[in-house]
A and B are shown apart, each in its own frame.
Chain A
Amino acid sequence: MLSITRTITSNGDLTSTVTIAQALVFASPIALAGLAGIWAERAGVINIGLEGMMILGTFGAGWAGWQWGAWAGVLAGIIFGAIGGLLLAVAAVTFGVDQIIAGTAINLLALGTTKFLAILLFTNAPGGGQAQSPPIKGKIPVFTLDSIVEPLTALHEKGIFFVSDLAGLVAGLFYNMSLLTIITLLLFIMTSYLLWKTAFGLRLRSAGENPWAADSLGVKVVQYKYAAVVFSGMLAGLGGAYLSIASTIYRNGNTAGRGYIGLATMIFGDWRPGGTAAGAIMFGYIDTLRLIDTGNQNVKGLILLGAIILFTIGAWMLRSSRRNTAIGFLLLGAVMIGAYFSATSFPPEVAQVAPYITTLLVLATASQNLRPPAADGVPYRKGEDH
């Protein structure tokens, strides 16, 4: 579908090496936030505080990274995120308060604390300011495999249907690949294995599906919930650290709602790592096209791509006899095609809101098929029935 769009729009940006590489950079923090959401919610704790934990992570990375280097920044980001996670665990698991309220409070607290500390710690630091840290020292290793990237990029520039697009996609995976992105990928694989293939994972998920039954079988539900929520904080913190390191400084508001987007990717990934990663990559891809948009053509390409995807889903649904939804999709696709041909370019705001609209669309059409953990968001107290 991408190649069709690329061919029609003759916009090489859509599948270029740089675009793909950059999309991965944008996608990783969102993916980590989504993964963080999976851990908490699989254990039955809704984590709206992801945004706050990410903010803590960006701050930790900026503060430690500026003084002791990038790896120290990563570590501090993880620790700061874990503190946020611990706070949520204390409020939601020990005291059993409403998880959405607890999460909202953590977001507020993280925002205030980091802005407060930024003023105190960075204002007089060399190269820092009231709202940003000095540059993070050192770098996380970045790999480029020239022997793969160069020939494939050359192939991409020839503009052959499909072949060139595939070349661009593959080359993007080997161009400026950060070690942190690789770690993110490994964390996804580890999560799939740990949560779905081990006894530990089964117990953790049982705490999110039916904690009372789990307790009756001897699972230490509270401990599992604590472990899951704190680890969730660590992952969100790592996502925040990734953001700071990618932009080389901590800046107020650097997360820009990515914690919430992570939450959204988790939901339409059906609380599973694979779908969550796919969602995050989509968000990263849209973000990239918006930001590297030189001739205002990328957004236009995105709209066509969206229309083609809608038509495909619509056609598929028509076959599986879900007529109303299918017609909705086809109509929306038609509107987008119309928009594509009637306008010469689209403002970047369209791409700015596209991820959120996509999330709403996916939720609106698929929420009946999504299956969140059965006891997600339900406070649990040992010995108390529900």
Chain B
Amino acid sequence: MNLRRLATSLIAPAIGLGVSLAATAVILISIGANVTVIFSSMWNYGTSPRAMTLMLNLATVYFLSALAVSIGFKMNLFNIGVNGQYILGSLAAAVVASNLQLPKAISITVTILTAMFVGAAWAGIAAWLKVARGVSEVISTIMLNFIAVGIISYLIVRTSIGTETSVNIRGTKFIPESGMLRGNAFIDPDTKVYGFLIISIFVGVGYWFLLNRTRFGFDLRATGKSASAARTSGVQSTRMIVTTMLLSGAVAGLVGLPYLLGQTGSYNLQFPTEWGFIGIAIALLGRNNPVGIAIGAIFVAFLDVSSGQLVLEGVPREISTIMQGLIVIVVVISYEVVRRNQVKSEQRSVARALAKQEVSA
């Protein structure tokens, strides 16, 4: 039975990936590109040591983003606000870390806590609006994303938080080396794997533990499966919503840190702001399971990194965004189709068993 469940949970992503690869191939053919050349060039570059390093680094970011989204998903909450939560969290972390002169371990702990706190606080607004005022978190987090962008541009452009970090780029002061987590160049001698990779693995394990081995996790999953049943058994739904949103926001606050502490050391106006949306795609792909999310994150990061190579073949790298969009839509559709078939086959087997009983009786 377990094997069968595993197979059915793998078949949908497999179909999704297959169909979206096929659709991508059709797009590539229709613009006159040679599909075999392109896929093999993506594969060749993507498996080079440098690309593998870049892929792991990006996957670390995507993994955290998808974890943040999936905590909400487990309870049918849509945290579309990961973007806003992580950019504010990263900015706060950058400001705090750049003013610290402490031993590495302490400095990094403080930085991480700052980012988590700010991310959680920003998500907390949406949580409060939902439980106290009945505002859908989908809309409020979208609005909060825009507000976060405005706040950041104000702080960096018009206050002393921002300085000219390089020519014509304003950002926060650079974090001293003691506060950075640059990582280790163990795959490619010239590119480092972010040190935050290890921390994000811990976050993943913590996520698994919290959801599957604690009372809170049980309540959370129960509320997600059936809010009314959970309420009847004594779960306080408003408290669950607030805690879940805060947790999701706290993890979201971490999303920018691998890059901030491993690469830039400063939050500037060119800091990527769209890593939250990709988290939604990956959370779906990984079915809210930490291992699934990790695989999904690596896969999407592979697409992103290796598609950078395509410019040489005359194909815009945006093909990877198209692929991601296709994957999401095809994967959710195939989940639904697989689920319906499953229900149908279960109904049939029940009907068959009942029919037999009737005959024997």
Contact = CB atoms under 8 A, between A and B. Distances in A.
A353 B16 CA distance: 38
Nearest to B280: A104
Given A112-B322, A364-B129, A367-B134, A101 B154 contact: no
B154 A349 contact: yes
B326 interface: yes
Given A95-B336, A101-B332, A349-B154, A359 B316 contact: no
Nearest to B155: A349
B21 to A, nearest CB: 15
A257 B31 CA distance: 29
B284 interface: yes
A123 B296 CA distance: 33
Contacts of A360: 129, 135, 140, 143-144, 147
A264 B145 CA distance: 13
B146 to A, nearest CB: 5
A311 B151 CA distance: 26
B39 to A, nearest CB: 17
B140 A363 contact: yes
A364 B335 CA distance: 35
A120 B135 contact: no
Contacts of B319: 112, 116
Q: Which of A120, A263, A350, A353 has the most CB of B within 10 A?
A: A353
Chain A: interface size category: 35 or more
A365 to B, nearest CB: 8
Contacts of A263: 139, 142
A101 B142 contact: no
A152 interface: no
B337 interface: yes
Interface string A15-59: 000000000000000000000000000000000100000000000
Interface string B106-125: 00000000000000000000
A159 interface: no
B133 A111 contact: no
Interface in A77-108: 87, 91, 95-98, 100-102, 104-108
Interface in B292-345: 316, 318-326, 328-329, 332-333, 335-337
Given A104-B280, A267-B139, A353-B147, A109 B332 contact: no
A359 B153 contact: no
A112 B135 contact: no
B180 interface: no
A102 B332 contact: yes
Contacts of A108: 277, 281, 321, 324-325, 328
B133 A356 contact: no
Interface residues of B, number: 42
A349 B162 CA distance: 15
B194 interface: no
A335 interface: no
A368 interface: yes
A329 to B, nearest CB: 14
Interface string B262-298: 0000000000000001001100100000000000000
Interface string A178-200: 00000000000000000000000
A97 B319 CA distance: 24
A111 B332 CA distance: 19
A279 B333 CA distance: 35
A105 B329 contact: yes
A119 interface: yes
B133 A363 contact: yes
Interface in A355-381: 356-357, 359-360, 363-365, 367-368
Contacts of B326: 109
A116 B318 CA distance: 5
A264 B143 contact: yes
A347 interface: yes
A353 B146 contact: yes
Given A116-B319, A257-B146, A102 B329 contact: yes
Q: Which of A95, A263, A357, A368 has the most CB of B within 10 A?
A: A95
B150 interface: yes
A238 to B, nearest CB: 22
Contacts of B151: 349, 353
A67 interface: no
A115 interface: yes
A87 B329 contact: yes
Contacts of B316: 115-116, 119-120
Given A105-B332, A116-B319, A367-B133, A356 B146 contact: yes
A352 B150 contact: yes
A113 interface: yes
Q: Which of B140, B157, B321, B329 has the most CB of A within 10 A?
A: B329
B138 to A, nearest CB: 6
A260 interface: yes
Nearest to B27: A116
A44 to B, nearest CB: 15
A41 B319 CA distance: 31
B336 to A, nearest CB: 5
A352 B316 CA distance: 32
Given A104-B80, A104-B280, A109 B140 contact: no
A16 B256 CA distance: 44
B336 A96 contact: yes
Contact of A98 (B140, B321, B332): B332
A269 B326 CA distance: 33
Closest 9 interchain pairs by CB?
Answer: A112-B321, A109-B325, A353-B150, A108-B325, A349-B154, A112-B322, A105-B328, A116-B318, A119-B316
Interface of B: 31, 78, 80, 129, 133-135, 138-140, 142-144, 146-147, 150-151, 153-154, 157-158, 277, 280-281, 284, 316, 318-326, 328-329, 332-333, 335-337
15 contacts: A97-B333, A101-B284, A104-B281, A105-B332, A106-B325, A108-B277, A108-B328, A110-B325, A112-B320, A115-B316, A350-B154, A352-B153, A356-B147, A360-B129, A363-B133
